[in-house]
Structure 1
Amino acid sequence: MTTVAVIGASRGIGLELARQYAADGCRVHATTRALDAPGALGAVGGDVHLHPLDVVDDGQIEALAGALSEEPIDILIHNAGINAGRGAGDPETTARSMRINAEAPIVTVAALLDSVVAGGDRKVAVMSSVQGSGRSRAGSPDLYGDSKRELNTRFRAIEPEWRARGITAVALHPGYVRTDMTGSHASLSPEESVRGIRNVLAGLTAKDSGRFLDYRGKDVAW
């Protein structure tokens, strides 16, 4: 049985990842900040295990790693993030955006790395965005894009260490998806995006590690 961990699964893309993997018979470990009121995530059927996690809480990250220490993880997807909008942002908002979007994915994956190494597939994906591309909105204030660009920088720095442990790790752009974060004007449904993401992850081989891919498997410029 394939075991998948989805960090940030309470809604949108993360929720759909949990649904689709569970529907295919995978064991799914899914995190939410509101374990006492998981909403739609709590209604997902199958072999789904919910865990509390606020990615800015180092104690909760450590607790999750402890809870999964005996559980090999085949595929780890870090999806949690926020959209603080465009513009420079005030210092507090900027710091929070960077902590959640740029720092937390690297910290959380590092905490769970032993479980991924113990898995069969040994695949990691961090959810980035085309807005994190250096070619996107160059010179324009964009707090969300800046945080994703910083994530890409950190990912590229740490990925060789993960690769050395036998892990295939990629950054992913899920497309412009209709979620609570983007609103109803986005062109892509969560179902379509996640089907693409799953196909991309299923087809990864070791030589793909370190790439920045969209949900169709096409390379995105760093």
Structure 2
Amino acid sequence: MRGHAALLVVAGLTAVSGCGTTANPIAESPSAPAATSAAPPPPASEPASAAPRPSVTGPDAPMLLGQRRLVIRPAEAGESILAVDDTGRLNLTDGPTDKGLFVLVPQGARHQIRTATGDQACLGLKNNGSRPLTIAATQCDPARDGQLFTIQPPASGDPATYTISVSGAYLLVSRTNGVIAEEPGDATALTAFVLVDNGPV
């Protein structure tokens, strides 16, 4: 009986010693600290929903993201606004019209200018031969360069205004020719435009 008990004690000590040998490599394994470092850090900023709302006239304005209807008004033209006339041309109007609302649809860094009433059309550059370039409503085609407008604050002047250009030609208000598109020269005075919010699309 004593011999049998001694064998049991020796076997027990061997089992305990074996468990200790197996546990040590796990405790010293380099992968153990990695589990702690891999834990995601607490968020460093507020949720997106708590971010400040975009400014009305800044580059992230809802009007520049296709979310709002708008009126385009030359900054120095009093109450006149841009509208599509009965011939389909973009021109100035002083009276009430249902063809003066537009939506700016982002296309990369540029925009399509789509009509916001009636049949949806897009403004596009029109070549008139020897006469000045004009802008006219046409079928929307985002692959057409003449429909992709660059809308940006002017290099100087009121930051709440924008210059509008397409294919290198800027929209200008001419006393003799109305709204035209022209490549700027040394003496060209660019027309600045104000975007007037008219509610959600």
TM superposition score category, shorter chain reference: under 0.3
TM normalised by structure 1 equals 0.23
TM normalised by structure 2 equals 0.25
**Which protein has the bigger strand share?**
2
Q: Which has the larger radius of gyration?
A: 2
